[in-house]
Structure 1
């Protein structure tokens, strides 16, 4: 996959793990924690950057996208990764390259099934993934902790403590990962059964985990069929919903047979053989979430020779927000070429276990990736968590992020740079807290430019 200008191979060539840790330790002399933790104000037009992203999306979906973004500062933050990406380009950086999520906020972690049907907890969104400096993910995670904590009504003192502890959990995750062998790092134990087994009896966290375990276990393609389809004269069809689900006549829907054939050539041989037993029953455009709402996304209903069903989700693989916000070119097949592969490759690297149906294809103008829809997948509704549960959840995300970063061979450099210093925790927290006014300022500008969406938001409350 493309390395976005940061060459991992040149760093690790002829280097032992000890060498890499020493490189990271020495790097702290050039980029001290104080520098990494100091937010530098940038000069940019947030409206222009957001508009460049909007120009890549489906125009008729933008009002609903803006409504979702306008709900709170946190949902606005989730929908505008391009703003923070721009700002991070102008901050002090270690430039230690790893495969990063690129959008590691609290809402982008969740539960899903491994190929062995074990429920695991990990990162679950990779639209912005690629090679970049590790601290970008950490900073985005910590900012999301503060924004989500405020939305839940926690005190500033409590939010500060949680944020510091999330930074600490990332540091602990790096330290623990580097102590494991290379092959053991490749097989992290973050299945839910192991996590649940480590929780003390009577701990309220166990109840929370069990809830999500039960919820995810009920999600499969047949459940999707019951919820999203109806039987018509033309057969089983997705139910149209004006804001979310709609049958369209576009390039993807007209050529879905050919595109799915291209997709099958990118999956494992056993999955390709499995898919040969299904035929296409229906396809509809289906948009969800905040950050990706407005892009070209579809649900494909497949029916097997035995009458059972499989539902695949097709998502447009847009260039990363960092790239998209910097360009004013119209989308073309060349511009989006291999973006689907970038996302899928990053997901397979970062996740401890991935959906076996992951694949991608290229249409005439756009790049797409494919995965199962809702198969034992569920995310955490942060607003439903108690303060203690939120704290545990956020710390878990910090630790998992560290484990995922250590899938890249340069992970030992991060360990060498961070060391066992609590100064790292303070520096990351300082940066995140200093960045909050920037998010709030951008959010206020957004609401001023979209008064209709603000009115919708206020009426919803």
Structure 2
């Protein structure tokens, strides 16, 4: 029988600390602190990336992650990473964290995303049913250097632009614009009150207004269609996409190996009823991590089916479950996703999370960084999977979720998109870090922008080499990959 432990607050003496740990300083002192850091860590120094002979082998780092993942899904992971340098980059948060350790940093900490590449931003619904734009993946979140997130975003834009065949000058403009957007946004947030920063958000109407010079003609039509498409990804739309109605009622439709109902998994076939009872215990334990009014809402629904679902690129092989729940009937569905949470890739280099539950680490980090979060966001610890204890975080599976089609973007659209990501990342960092010190360090000039752009080029070159190494390893049989998933 699967056993669960309820979500708990950190025990006494282990309360989570804010990324800002300095004693109280006046605004002038915080600005002076940021300016003084320019002498200690020159902004031009952020261009540095010179991998030496002692650089960790990225394929070995990825293989180390495989030991905690489902082996039958690993070929899908490597098949997806092998598609292009950009898909490789999406799955290589750990190798990049290993590379960033030796790069310059100011010592100013924020709640870092840990995987702030440009495909990890997108649209989703707020509790007030507004369509929002924000970062949307926090599996690696941890208090850490703000520079690491900025460099991961910048390098991702350079790599995505190369994949699209953009010329060098165009790529340069895209990356510089994104970093400049981060810098100018941080300087704007430095002038705001803490409450103003906390309330700042990007809904789709404000995005449309800000970038109306780009969203014109056919692009305006495509933008409108993407919004309409996102709004179809509600629980009813998810029911139509992933489930069917049988004599036993609504059930998730199998699409192996990407979607496998729990009744068809090897470990559950002998006693599927016991497996479902265990999963109900998981939901009951997760329920305790929600606020009381959210528990009342959750209690309106009953669990009817569960399936394992393969998600993303970097997450492939971790355990991810989709829960189909119904209210009064099939016209009132609720889909939840329980996604396995392990240690952040940053913990190896920055120290362990202060939260004993990795799911709680993700949830707290997400709530710190996002302007608004899913009302069902919570966490749970489960004992019994493969004889091991595993942590999960839970959220709605698809609630108006939409993502940018980077491969089809024209250069002008990618530049605007990069600027939006830069602004969004700055807002997230300003919520949790010393925005005045970071803004003062960045300044009004372009020194930091140019340096990070040079870093992005160098790291894109390295990513292309790492991707080629993976392709070679697949070709000679050292790595098994499936290219059709």
1:354-374 Cα offsets, whole Å, 9 max, x none, are 111100000011000000011
Alpha-carbon separation, structure 2, partners of 1:445 and 1:326 = 28
Shift of 1:144: 0.4
Q: Is the contact between residue 284 and residue 299 of structure 1 (CA under 8 Å) also seen in structure 2?
A: yes
Alpha-carbon separation, structure 2, partners of 1:175 and 1:223 = 41
Counterpart pick for 1:46 among 52, 58, 63: 58
Counterpart pick for 1:271 among 294, 312, 315: 294
TM-score (norm 2): 0.88
Asked if 1:140 corresponds to 2:159, the answer is no
Shift in alpha-carbon separation, 1:38–1:111, aligned structure 2, 3 A:
same
Counterpart pick for 2:93 among 60, 63, 81: 81
Alpha-carbon separation, structure 1, partners of 2:108 and 2:379 = 29
Q: Counterpart of 2:21? A: 10
Counterpart pick for 1:423 among 433, 447, 457: 447
Shift of 1:4: 13
Shift of 1:75: 0.1
Q: Is the contact between residue 155 and residue 460 of structure 2 (CA under 8 Å) also seen in structure 1?
A: yes
Shift of 1:200: 3.8
Q: Counterpart of 2:423? A: 399
Q: Which moved more, 1:300-309 or 1:58-67?
A: 300-309
Q: Counterpart of 2:369? A: 350
1:168-208 Cα offsets, whole Å, 9 max, x none, are 11111111111111111001131112222344478425444
Counterpart pick for 1:197 among 205, 209, 220: 209
Q: Counterpart of 1:390? A: 414
Q: How do 1:267-416 residues align onto structure 2 when only pairs under 5 Å count? A: 267-307=290-330, 308-323=332-347, 337-364=356-383, 365-416=389-440
Shift of 1:6: 9.1
Secondary structure class of the residue paired with 1:354? coil
Q: Is the contact between residue 155 and residue 457 of structure 2 (CA under 8 Å) also seen in structure 1?
A: yes
Q: Which moved more, 1:123-132 or 1:198-207?
A: 198-207
Secondary structure class of the residue paired with 1:321? coil
Q: How do 1:7-156 residues align onto structure 2 when only pairs under 5 Å count? A: 8-11=19-22, 13-42=23-52, 43=54, 44-156=56-168
Secondary structure class of the residue paired with 1:378? coil
1:56-105 Cα offsets, whole Å, 9 max, x none, are 11100001111101100000010111100000011111121000111010
Secondary structure class of the residue paired with 1:363? strand
Q: Counterpart of 1:228? A: 242
Shift in alpha-carbon separation, 1:198–1:425, aligned structure 2, 3 A:
closer
Q: Counterpart of 1:331? A: none
Q: Counterpart of 1:216? A: 230
Structure 2 gaps, min length 5: 1-8, 269-274, 384-388
CA RMSD, 1 decimal: 2.6
Shift of 1:39: 1.1
Counterpart pick for 1:237 among 239, 245, 251: 251
Alpha-carbon separation, structure 1, partners of 2:193 and 2:355 = 37
Q: Which moved more, 1:245-254 or 1:192-201?
A: 245-254
Secondary structure class of the residue paired with 1:49? helix
Shift of 1:409: 3.9
Shift in alpha-carbon separation, 1:199–1:394, aligned structure 2, 3 A:
closer
Q: Which moved more, 1:208-217 or 1:441-450?
A: 208-217
Q: Is the contact between residue 40 and residue 90 of structure 1 (CA under 8 Å) also seen in structure 2?
A: no
